Amino acid sequence: MIRIEPSNESRAFLCDHCQKVYAATRGFVFEGESAHALYYAALHDCGRSAAVYLAIGLGERMEEDGVFGDVRSVTFKVNPNEAGVEMNIVDAVESPWVRARSLGEMMNVDEAIEHEKFQEFLHTADHIVSEDRIISEHLATSVFRTKADDMLVG
């Protein structure tokens, strides 16, 4: 059984693409009492609706330097829709954390899909998106805002 421990804090950053300020948050995923994964989430409002870039690094944490040892990571782009969310893997170069040492080696789409822990990445992402309050509220607000925009235009 995994447990999410979100930081419940966010920091502001400037988007390279649209030059808008966006929030980023992070957290840990525990399996029992052991740190099982680390995640970072960037909450964007580029374009018509919000998106979350969610990077997850799975692996054992090294106590002495705080860096995960055998970690491999994947970045998902999470988009809200009326049925919930749609998650797509993005290549490492599209990840805001492609150079984050704490996430270990970031995989590209093809590599991630073939990885032995691919289903574990998906399962962990589902938990994070639904249980991290900052992420779930950002996505829910976007769906509401998009519906209101559609009503004004239509």
Question: DSSP secondary structure string, 27-50?
Answer: EEEEETTEEEEEEEEEEE--SSS-
pTM summary value = 0.84
Give the residue from 54, 47, 45, 46 showing the smallest Cα distance to 78.
54
pLDDT above 70: residue 26: yes
Please state, in angstroms and rounded to a whole number, the distance separating the CA atoms of residues 141 and 82: 12
Local confidence band at 31 (pLDDT 50, 70, 90 cut-offs): confident
The pairing of beta strand 34-44 with beta strand 51-58: antiparallel
Query: Between 42 and 71, where is the model more confident?
Result: 42
Local confidence band at 20 (pLDDT 50, 70, 90 cut-offs): confident
Neighbours of 30 (CB within 10 A): 14
CB 75 within 8 A of CB 126: no
Task: Dump pLDDT digits (tens) for 67-115.
Answer: 555 789 999 999 988 788 999 999 999 998 888 888 888 999 999 999 9
Q: CB-side exposure of 106: number of CA atoms within 13 Å?
A: 24
Of the candidate ranges 31-35, 48-52, 120-124, 147-151, the one whose mean pLDDT is the lowest: 147-151
Residues in the chain: 154
Give the residue from 60, 16, 66 showing the smallest Cα distance to 42.
16
Structure tokens at 49: 């609706």
Local confidence band at 147 (pLDDT 50, 70, 90 cut-offs): very low
